[in-house]
A = this chain, B = another copy of it.
Amino acid sequence: MNSSFGTLFTVTTFGESHGKALGAVIDGVPAGIAIQEDFIQKELDRRKPGQSSVSTARKEADRCEILSGVFEGISTGTPIAILLRNSDQHSSDYSNIADIFRPGHADYTFHKKYGIRDYRGGGRSSGRETAARVAAGAVAKLFLKEQGITIRACTCQIGKIKAAPPYNWEEVEKNIVRTADASAAEDMILAVKNAAANKDSIGGAVYGEILNVPPGLGEAVFDKLDALLAHAFMSIGGIKAVEIGDGFAVAEKNGSENNDQMDAEGFKSNHAGGILGGMSNGNTITFRLAVKPTPSIAALQKSINISGEEVDVEIHGRHDPCLVPRIVPVVEAMAAIVIADLLLRNRAARK
């Protein structure tokens, strides 16, 4: 299923950037969970456009409406549908690119796949689809919170500016680039604004943690916990790389350095990022993701149109010059969905 994710805790999203609405149907939410609509809204607000000076000027209220699955504030076990009406659409901004394949965008591939394409704002391939994921992820977080599990992510790099550990998680929502290193925030903001001033955009990276996961989550072979996280993260547009634990650094290491030895207190280190043999080991799960620079830039670029003719493209919509700050809540949402699903699946592990 193209638009669904998860085995027992299953999220289906629908909607295009400039269609009538986006939405998510979350099936398999266990009965009995307190579903706070204001929490879902708060998560959506963290992702919504127009929230800061490094974000797009586009405004979407992204008001969520719960249509089903909740009775007197409690999940009933039936699917929770959440609707987000689209509002601030400048579809006419896109009429001039209706026949053009924007570099770095899905225009060309959607055209090749489907032979038809809702070009307004990227249609289904727009980052706007991730609003539905955030709504679904908020429901997952409400379930996980009752299990004591927490998820947090932050911007750890924008361009060449890197956040320096140890991370101060209190800082993340206090700066507009969502970094956990307050001292790096200024430079990151500057890097984004410089890119925009140059009619350009800039990439970065997200670091995240999942805390308090009980050991044993994840299936033994294909649906390993790290495999599902990688799937979930890489399905977010713009993510080009995924590391678990020490990630690429393991390539240069010896086993004696990389193995996490144990004593009576537990693991003595966490190079593995909390995952062994595809299952949580009780340690904090850690990951890092690369985010590409926004493909929509105002600078002149070469491309072709649907007739194959060469064209010059300048993209003058309203776009984030850097995807990273607003992708942070999306990453958290996908992590929450994976963990919620594996928690439920794990209940079938023993007789």
Contact = CB atoms under 8 A, between A and B. Distances in A.
Interface stretch (A45-53, A169-177, A301-309): A301-309
A117 to B, nearest CB: 7
B292 A113 contact: no
Contact of A255 (B202, B242, B281): B202
- Residue among A68, A302, A346 with max Cβ neighbours from chain B (10 Å): A68
Contacts of A344: 347-348
A116 B203 contact: no
A255 B344 CA distance: 39
A336 to B, nearest CB: 15
A228 B276 CA distance: 21
A18 to B, nearest CB: 10
Interface residues of A, number: 156
A99 to B, nearest CB: 14
Interface string A9-49: 11011111001111101011011110000000000000000
A255 B296 CA distance: 8
Interface string A293-317: 1111101011110001110000000
A104 interface: yes
Interface string A207-246: 0000000111111111110111111111101001111111
A254 B293 contact: yes
Contacts of A108: 215, 262, 276, 281
A233 B226 CA distance: 10
Interface stretch (A55-63, A71-79, A178-186, A325-333): A71-79
Nearest to A258: B293
A104 B27 contact: no
Given A251-B159, A293-B255, A4 B14 contact: no
Contacts of A253: 159, 202-203, 292-293
A337 to B, nearest CB: 10
10 contacts: A3-B78, A31-B114, A74-B116, A106-B279, A113-B216, A160-B252, A195-B255, A240-B246, A262-B303, A264-B308
